[in-house]
Amino acid sequence: MLCNEAQRVQAYFDGELDAGASAVIEQHLAHCAACAALIRDLQSTRDAIREEGSYDRASPKLRSQVSDLLDRETGKSGFLSGFVPRDKAFWLGMATGIVPTALAAALVFFVYLGPTPDRLTADLMSAHLRSLVANHLIDVASSDQHTVKPWFAGHADVSPPAVDFPKENYRLVGGRADYVDGRRAAVVVYRHGAHVINVFAWPQSGSSMPDILTRDGYHIACWKNGDLAFCAVSDTALDELLALTRLLKDVKA
């Protein structure tokens, strides 16, 4: 049976909620098995379409007709000016081939292919700021990677490296579970001087990620390592954030 919050959970999965509403849903997901299952089902559907989605190619005859028409239009004013084919077979091919395929492709692109870079950035910023103001920075507090990394196994979809770098002044303070890209992300938390650095990790997907981005005084640096996607977020200086990312890139996932 669906929970009364199911509709808002779907909106959360689609990235349609603001930071406050997202925080409420995340708390709800931690205690509602039905909604947690719904999130998993939505993600499974998205993954299946990404991996198994098929499409139909236009027939050689249709491709040839389109190519000939385009060749004939070269040099005329306006793209495809006067393009009004009268061949019934041509329009039948369009109706039964290209148009449905294009509509299906558009549906997959807009609904299932995951967040645009802007949406992913919003997810990361929202999760980072929420951790600072909602007293939810750390679920497991430890500077020991042998404590933090195993904790992720039962709380997130991945168990990324959680290495302390005392000599470089990037101190591991713990970890937590969060939601990014519609997935349960593992977040390794560091302190660098007075600054908090959240390093998000989740299963690598086809989603576009910003390499380096600055928004409202916060820097985001993303990379991929093996089958994991990583994004580090902080208000520390950009070169200091990138120094941590270089250290992490050298650690085996």
State whether 158 and 220 are in the same domain: yes
State whether 192 and 68 are in the same domain: no
How confident is the model over 191-203, as pLDDT tens digits? 999 999 999 999 8
> What is residue 113's predicted lDDT score, i.e. its pLDDT?
40
State whether 135 and 240 are in the same domain: yes
Do the Cβ atoms of 86 and 136 come closer than 8 Å? Answer: no
Last residue of a domain, one of 30, 52, 74: 52
> What is residue 81's predicted lDDT score, i.e. its pLDDT?
44
pTM across the whole model: 0.56
Which amino acid is located at 223 in the chain?
W
Average pLDDT over residues 198-211: 81
Tell me whether residue 1 is in a domain.
no
**225 three-state secondary structure:** strand
Higher pLDDT, 199 or 23: 199
Question: How many other CB atoms are there within 10 angstroms of residue 73's CB atom?
Answer: 15
How confident is the model over 29-82, as pLDDT tens digits? 888 888 888 888 888 777 676 666 555 566 667 767 777 776 665 544 444 444
> What is residue 197's predicted lDDT score, i.e. its pLDDT?
97
Residue 102: is its pLDDT beyond 80? no
State whether 240 and 169 are in the same domain: yes
Residue 170: is its pLDDT beyond 90? yes
Q: How far is CA 87 from CA 65, 92, 193, in A?
A: 10, 9, 72
- Residue 33 CA to residue 38 CA, distance in Å, equals 9
Residue 248: is its pLDDT beyond 90? yes
State whether 29 and 95 are in the same domain: no
> What is residue 74's predicted lDDT score, i.e. its pLDDT?
52
Tell me whether residue 136 is in a domain.
yes
Residue 190, strand partner residues: 172, 197
Which amino acid is located at 226 in the chain?
G
State whether 147 and 227 are in the same domain: yes
**199 three-state secondary structure:** strand
Tell me whether residue 144 is in a domain.
yes
Please count the structural domains in the chain.
3
Report the b/e string of 200-221 with b at 16+ CB within 10 A: bbbbebebebbeebeeeebbbb
Last residue of a domain, one of 112, 131, 149: 112
Tell me whether residue 234 is in a domain.
yes
32-46, 202-216, 232-246: which is most confident: 232-246
Q: What are phi and psi of 252, to 5 degrees?
A: -70, 130
State whether 96 and 123 are in the same domain: no
Tell me whether residue 201 is in a domain.
yes
> What is residue 209's predicted lDDT score, i.e. its pLDDT?
75
Residue 84: is its pLDDT beyond 50? no
State whether 158 and 101 are in the same domain: no
How confident is the model over 139-158, as pLDDT tens digits? 889 888 889 999 998 888 89
Q: What are phi and psi of 165, to 5 degrees?
A: -125, 70
Specify the CATH number for the domain of residue 221: 3.30.200.100
Q: What are phi and psi of 3, to 5 degrees?
A: -75, 160
Last residue of a domain, one of 112, 132, 151: 112
pLDDT band, residue 108 (cuts 50/70/90) = very low
Report the b/e string of 56-65 with b at 16+ CB within 10 A: eeeeeebeeb
State whether 87 and 20 are in the same domain: no
Least reliable range by pLDDT among 13-27, 74-88, 150-164, 175-189: 74-88
State whether 31 and 70 are in the same domain: no
State whether 102 and 146 are in the same domain: no
Do the Cβ atoms of 180 and 123 come closer than 8 Å? Answer: yes
Residue 150 is part of which domain span? Answer: 117-249
Residue 112: is its pLDDT beyond 60? no
State whether 122 and 95 are in the same domain: no
